[in-house]
Amino acid sequence: MDTQHTHDNAHDGAHRSGTRDDHDDTLRVLPRRTVLEQPAGCSGDPYPPLSRPQEFRAWFEREGYVLVRGAIPARLCQAGIDAFRADVIGDRLSFFERHVSGKFEPHHYTPAGYMKYPIMNLQDLASRRHAGFRRAGLTVLTHPAIQRALAALTGEPARCVHTMYFDGNQVTWAHRDGHYIDSGDDGGMIGVWVAAEDIHPDAGRFFVLPRSHRIHVPGEEVDPNSAAYKARMADFVRDGPLDCVAPVLRQGDMLIWSSMVIHGSLPTADERWSRRSFTAHYVPESQRYKWNVRSRKSERSIRFNRVEVMLHADDGTRAARLRNHVRAEWPRVYGAARTLWRRLSAGG
């Protein structure tokens, strides 16, 4: 969620708060009566399989989300985690774009040593040191199983406009993605959350409010980065009329949701558990995508696994390329320059 609507780095996505206060009461979606592992009245998974595309799509359109078990091969998920562990988690110098702030920042760690704030837009990772992780992450997030599911839901190929990697739990506030970024046709963007490992139920599960894509939340028309927005959404999750479903996901499972479905992450109940996952947001290829919290839209893209993936850090100007290069390859120099700049700005 983006606090400055014209800021170039923001997703940003549901995706940018500008605050780091873990005890911020506006974020609290608990306690609520119940958090369900399955939709009400179901003892097992009720989700139609992809092999029955019409039912699959009808479920998604009605409920606003759908779950596909074992969609992504475990070895690809594991390769992503291994690359993260080998080259990224211990890298205390580098700056990564953060979902929570929309800014490039070094890691913060949870008490158990997990990366607290997810990395945003893996496709923009520019350093040679992170190339293995970037490749492994995009391999998961552009996997043919995802393409098949999106084609079943939209009837056409899809373009990836945003990605993330989670290690620990930032406690993502309840939101609709479409308030931050969406397809040209409002509500047409689709989110994909791939469990890169078996997610422990206490790790801060991803939750959705089934059918919320068709329900208005009183007062939701405010700045989606404001405390008021987060408070209204949290109140609605906690005390509203809809169920809250947080399925227990295993490695390779994939949850898919509409951009207007309210979702977020539960607080972590046991800090010992990570919640490693790759996420992406896709729009149908025939449609433009649009930011609702940014003034300028990225125009550049790459093809990965035959999928178009939008780049956000490279606007094609020499200045941006130089800045990206220095940030990626000489993080000490970038960090020193940034500190100096901040001091000068504060002094001035």
> DSSP characters for 193-239?
EEESSPPPTTTT-EEE-TTGGG-PPTTTTS-TTSHHHHHHHHHHHHH
- Select the residue interacting with ligand AKG from 154, 163, 172, 268 (CB under 6 A): 172
Under rule CB under 6 A, residue 182 binds ligand AKG? no
Binding mask 206-245 for ligand AKG (x = CB under 6 A): x---------------------------------------
Residue type, 185: D
**DSSP H/E element including 160:** strand 158-166
Minimum CB–partner distance for residue 166 and ligand AKG (Å): 6
Backbone angles phi, psi at 239, to 5 degrees: -120, 0
The answer to whether 255 and 208 have CB atoms below 8 angstroms apart is yes
State in angstroms the smallest separation of the CB of 1 from ligand AKG.
10
Cβ atoms of 195 and 227 within 8 Å: the answer is no
247 is a contact residue toward ligand AKG (CB under 6 A):
no
CB nearer ligand AKG, residue 213 or residue 327 = 213
110: contact with ligand AKG by CB under 6 A: no
Burial 27-55 (b: 16+ CB within 10 A, else e): bbbeebeebeebbeeeeeeebbebeebee
Query: Site map for ligand AKG, 268-287, x if CB under 6 A?
Result: -----------x--------
Instruction: List the Cα angle 10/265/121 in 5-degree steps.
Output: 30
Q: Give the interface segment with ligand AKG, choosing from 33-41, 66-74, 164-172, 237-245 (CB under 6 A).
A: 164-172
Give the chain's length. 348
* Least distance between ligand AKG and beta carbon 134 (Å): 18
Residue closer to ligand AKG by CB (options 47, 206) is 206
Reference 64, options 243, 253, 231, 225; nearest CA is 243
* Residue 249, CB-side half-sphere exposure with 13 Å CA sphere: 31
Shortest reach from residue 143's CB to ligand AKG, in Å: 16
The single residue among 39, 191, 247, 252 that binds ligand AKG, judged by CB under 6 A, is: 191
CB 221 within 8 A of CB 163: no
* C-beta of 55 vs 220, nearer to ligand AKG: 220
Q: Is residue 177 a contact point for ligand AKG (CB under 6 A)? A: yes
When binding is defined by CB under 6 A, the residue of 2, 9, 10, 14 that contacts ligand AKG is: 14
Interacting residues with ligand AKG (CB under 6 A): 14, 164, 166, 172, 177, 191, 193, 206, 263, 265, 279
